[in-house]
Amino acid sequence: MIELLSALPAWQPAARGARCAVATVVAASGSVPRPVGTSMLVAAPEHPGGAPAVLGSLSGGCVEGAVVAAALDVLDCGAARLERFGYSPEDAFAAGLTCGGELAVHIQPLAPEAARGLAGRTEAAFAVVRRLAAEGETAADDGAARLVLLDAPPAGLAAAPPDLAESLEVLFPGSPETARRAAALVAPVLAQGSAAIVPVEPAGGCVPAVSARGAEPGPIRLLVESRLPAPRFLLVGANDFGAALIPAAKLLGYRVTLVDARPAFALQERFAAADQIAVAWPHEYVAAEAAAGRLDPRSVVCVLSHDPKFDVPLLDAALRLDLAYVGAMGSRRSHEQRIAALLEAGHGPLDLGRLHSPIGLDLGAVTPAEVAVSILAEVVASRTTVATGAPLRDRPGRIHARDVPAQRDRRGEPAWT
């Protein structure tokens, strides 16, 4: 649900306190388009016979219609539901995932006051923690609040709020010990900026979970969604390629800084889209940012200046840091000269193996915009060990690189615990 927060203030059904249901992917296996934590809000029609309002998407269109219908049923009966979707070759007209994957979608009512509170929130949330209802359970079954928003902690990227347990107590009324247990399990998910289902054993043992199959003992399930501040993208070189790369990198969610020691070039209007412009010697700027703790293993450095007096000192500094990607533009001759200089500066094969130079993937790029695509394609590919850079049609097996062996419950269905 965290990805919907920025759009909620403009979504009228939430602002007026309409009855809403939230549908969330809680388990995924095989080739599926969206990960665990992806949510969609469905509001009941404003007038009898009217159309429901929808915010968000779960699968790019495969199962949305069936999910909306199930959400309206949930709003009518007030009880949560778990829907499972997969490919069924026996019924070509069934609502399912034609890509062959499997999704488990948890659907539960969202209290009007919660919807209004979310719609009225203007600052970005660091994390959303929700207590998921068991199948067939209504909010009235236990009276527990269902949702907690957490603000970004001031201590840094990997720090959980110091009052995390206290913040979670609203999910476990009357049981601060359970809230403390939950905080210990939730904190690592917050640190990773990821989404996960966290089962919490209540103090005193499991509680009965009311479901369509009757009362079953089980843990309380929390859905934790967190996000870290935007990763840094340091672009060195105020030129046509940098101008094309700035908006493209921002589109991927990076916080872009243009670095150039020449004010006459760096302060041109065409670079105004950058989040920050630093007029400084690049190697000094990178060293200062690293010392201040403002670079991390997600940070990217792209050197487009192809000027040895800037490039070599900068690459020397960048390759001594734990960064996600370090790339440099230039010809093979320029690359060989850089390698010689970096060897002389004391860098060995491991460091030099991390340098993407000449920068980018071989896409046949010519224009600055095409080169920007080539560079960002390599940045994205470098995030994982399974990317090949080859056309997807030539890749064997499943398309989505995040595929992992699906966990199954005792009935052989995708587990969502």
Going by their DSSP bridges, the two strands 39-43 and 20-29 should be labelled as antiparallel
- What is the edge-to-edge ordering of all strands in the sheet holding 232-236? 276-279, 255-260, 232-236, 300-303, 325-328, 355-356
Task: Please tell me the total count of domains within the chain.
Answer: 3
CA distance 131 to 147: 6
Do both 94 and 176 map to the same domain? no
Q: Look at residue 345 and tell me if it is in a domain.
A: yes
CA distance 16 to 19: 9
Do both 106 and 154 map to the same domain? no
Is residue 66 classed as helix, strand or coil in its secondary structure? Answer: helix
Q: Look at residue 246 and tell me if it is in a domain.
A: yes
Cβ contact 332:358 at 8 Å? yes
Q: Look at residue 261 and tell me if it is in a domain.
A: yes
Q: What ranges in 303-386 are assigned the alpha helix state H? A: 308-318, 332-344, 349-353, 368-381
As a whole number of Å, the end-to-end CA separation of the chain is 18
Going by their DSSP bridges, the two strands 81-86 and 102-110 should be labelled as antiparallel
> How confident is the model at residue 124, as a pLDDT?
62
Do both 47 and 183 map to the same domain? no
Which domain-ending residue is among 111, 132, 167? 111
Do both 219 and 236 map to the same domain? no
Q: Look at residue 415 and tell me if it is in a domain.
A: no
Q: Look at residue 398 and tell me if it is in a domain.
A: no
151: containing domain: 123-228
Cβ contact 378:360 at 8 Å? yes
Do both 66 and 147 map to the same domain? no
Do both 103 and 131 map to the same domain? no
Which domain-ending residue is among 209, 228, 247? 228
Do both 61 and 160 map to the same domain? no
Q: Look at residue 404 and tell me if it is in a domain.
A: no
Q: Look at residue 144 and tell me if it is in a domain.
A: yes
Do both 372 and 244 map to the same domain? yes
Which domain-ending residue is among 166, 196, 228? 228
Cβ contact 202:219 at 8 Å? yes
Question: CA dihedral defined by 237, 242, 245, 246, rounded to 10 degrees?
Answer: 90
Do both 271 and 217 map to the same domain? no
Q: Determine the residue type at 411.
A: R
CA distance 216 to 396: 42
Do both 76 and 151 map to the same domain? no
In the block, residue with structure tokens 């043992």: 205
Do both 237 and 210 map to the same domain? no
> How confident is the model at residue 236, as a pLDDT?
95
| CA dihedral sign, ordered 16, 17, 19, 20 | positive
- Nearest of 85, 90, 133, 84 to residue 108 by alpha carbon: 133
The count of C-alpha atoms lying within 13 angstroms of the C-alpha of 183, restricted to the half-sphere facing its C-beta, is 20
Q: Look at residue 202 and tell me if it is in a domain.
A: yes
> How confident is the model at residue 99, as a pLDDT?
56
CATH of the domain at 251: 3.40.50.720
> How confident is the model at residue 404, as a pLDDT?
41
> How confident is the model at residue 155, as a pLDDT?
44
- Single pTM value for the model: 0.68
> How confident is the model at residue 183, as a pLDDT?
92
Do both 139 and 161 map to the same domain? yes
Q: Determine the residue type at 405.
A: P
> How confident is the model at residue 121, as a pLDDT?
65
Per-residue pLDDT of the chain (417 residues; tens, 9 = 90+): 778 887 888 888 877 778 889 998 888 776 555 778 888 999 988 888 788 999 988 866 668 888 899 999 999 888 888 888 875 555 444 444 555 567 889 998 887 777 777 776 656 667 889 888 877 776 555 445 578 888 765 544 556 677 889 999 988 888 899 999 999 999 888 888 888 889 998 876 544 444 444 444 578 889 998 887 889 999 999 999 999 999 999 999 899 999 999 999 999 999 999 999 999 999 999 999 999 989 989 999 999 987 888 989 999 999 999 999 999 998 888 888 989 999 999 999 999 999 998 999 999 999 999 999 999 999 999 987 767 777 767 766 666 555 444 444 434 444 554
Q: Where are the beta strands (DSSP E) in 227-347?
A: 232-236, 255-260, 276-279, 300-303, 325-328
